[in-house]
Structure 1
């Protein structure tokens, strides 16, 4: 499609098409929210991690499912203070839903951390604007709109 072409011209080092990235983000949402019961902030973090890995040219056809799993795992750990049994339960679910090998998934967690430069607590400016809590209306659940947003690549500088 036209959008995929424009996208690959703008981000030539990203190895997946825009449509594929969007469909994987839908999968992240379904997995994290519907299958695992995490709140929107966890999903938004997993999105940002996933996009950063894509932007740094770390995602490809071979590892996309593993990266999807690793992003959910990292986001869930950082935003939910998971205990060991909960981590095991999450890994079981990711393994089953994404049809992954658990060893491979766990062995990708550290390289993903390195690729994200260990920056898991996201500064406000990196959270897609439409997902930031609204200071005027703090009780409104403004995270929801992250799911409607297109790829939030605009706020990142692609690596050379």
Structure 2
């Protein structure tokens, strides 16, 4: 018996995916690769699972982290034809884990229901354990990241829902309703419009 699918070494596949990512996002810092982004996201998810955080908290942290990676990466002209030359992205190969930890901390603060006081300490310990970043550095960079996110931690659902669904899929849920039950998630009942005649 034989196979018609050619064997590809994992390292070659990783390299090809990173090259494809680089070609699709040429303005992102070259030291940030798709494999590094995926690794950081898996660490965020591992921390969230160990602490039994809401899946939406991890999804928000993913969205914040991606916003930081893309921050300042677009080069072009605005509506008035003015140059919008970018500065470099605030996320680099060297600080990616720190930035991801701060994103998870902000997501935790904005999204988690009220938790016992020891839970915050547990979060800091888990981030230190998984990401090798000190709690002091995380706290020192919190406001900077908050400012880079333009003080907007409440994202529209289209920005974090794809991450939420991806995490659910990885955890073998069929769909959002299976995870949440019968509760409606981010749905808005259609409002009756008055017809003026």
Structure-2 separation of matches of 1:69 and 1:129: 20
2:78 pairs with 1:62:
no
Alignment partner, residue 150 of structure 1: none
Of 100, 103, 125 in structure 1, the residue corresponding to residue 136 of structure 2 is 103
Task: Using structure 2 for the length normalisation, give the TM-score.
Answer: 0.62
Q: Which residue is 1:8 aligned to?
A: 22
2:68 touches 2:149 (CA, 8 Å); kept in 1? Answer: yes
- TM-score norm. by structure 1 comes to 0.75
Bigger RCO of structures 1 and 2 (CA < 8 A, at least 6 apart): 1
* Equivalent-residue separation in structure 1 for 2:20 and 2:41 (angstroms): 19
Deviation at 1:3, TM superposition (A): 2.3
Q: Deviations over 1:6-61 (max 9, x none)?
A: 2112222323001111111111111112x221121111111111111111122112
- What's 1:92 paired with? 125
* Larger of the two Rg values belongs to structure: 2
Displacement after TM superposition at 1:107 (Å): 0.9
Task: Supply the distance in 2 between the matched residues of 1:74 and 1:129 (Cα, whole angstroms).
Answer: 19
The number of aligned residues is 138
Q: 5 Å matches for 1:11-160?
A: 11-15=25-29, 16-33=32-49, 35-56=50-71, 57-82=89-114, 84-129=117-162, 131=164, 139-141=177-179
CA distance in 2, matches of 1:32, 1:42: 8
Q: Please tell me whether the aligned partners of residues 7 and 18 of structure 1 are also in contact (alpha carbons under 8 angstroms).
A: yes
Root-mean-square deviation (CA, aligned residues, Å) is 2.4
CA contact (8 A) 2:127 2:133 kept: yes
Output one character per residue of 1:105-125: Cα deviation in whole Å (capped at 9) or x when no partner: 111111111111111111122
Alignment CA distance shift 1:19-1:130 (3 Å) = closer
Q: Match of 1:139, SS?
A: helix
